Amino acid sequence: MSSQGLLTEMQTLGEKLLFKLQNLPKADPVEIVFFCVVLLFIVTVLLLMIVACSCCCYSCCGCDERPDHRRKAQVRPTAH
């Protein structure tokens, strides 16, 4: 998908969301609940992605100022 196609798709999705938000006060209570559940799901997924990425970057990039625990110790043969 080209970048122009992606921008068009995101704009269409944003317009649909705006249309739903504008018609929300006139909607049935069931539709309002479903919309809130979907919105809560999206926010939860985004929040979990942010937390996972920040924890991963924090431990991988050396921001925690601990020695790199992923390095393996060299094994030397024992002398007989």
pLDDT in tens, 29-72: 998 899 889 889 999 999 999 988 888 776 676 665 555 555 56
Separation of CA 23 from chain center? 28
pTM: 0.53
Residue 43 domain-assigned?
Answer: yes
In a domain, 40, yes or no: yes
- 64 in a structural domain: no
Residue 74 lies inside a defined structural domain of this protein: no
* Tokens (6 digits) for 31: 């539709």
Residue-by-residue DSSP string for the chain: --HHHHHHHHHHHHHHHHHHHHHGGGS-HHHHHHHHHHHHHHHHHHHHHHHHHHHHHHHHTTTT----TTSPPPP-PPP-
Sole residue written with tokens 């970057």:
57
Structural domain boundaries enclosing 39:
29-58
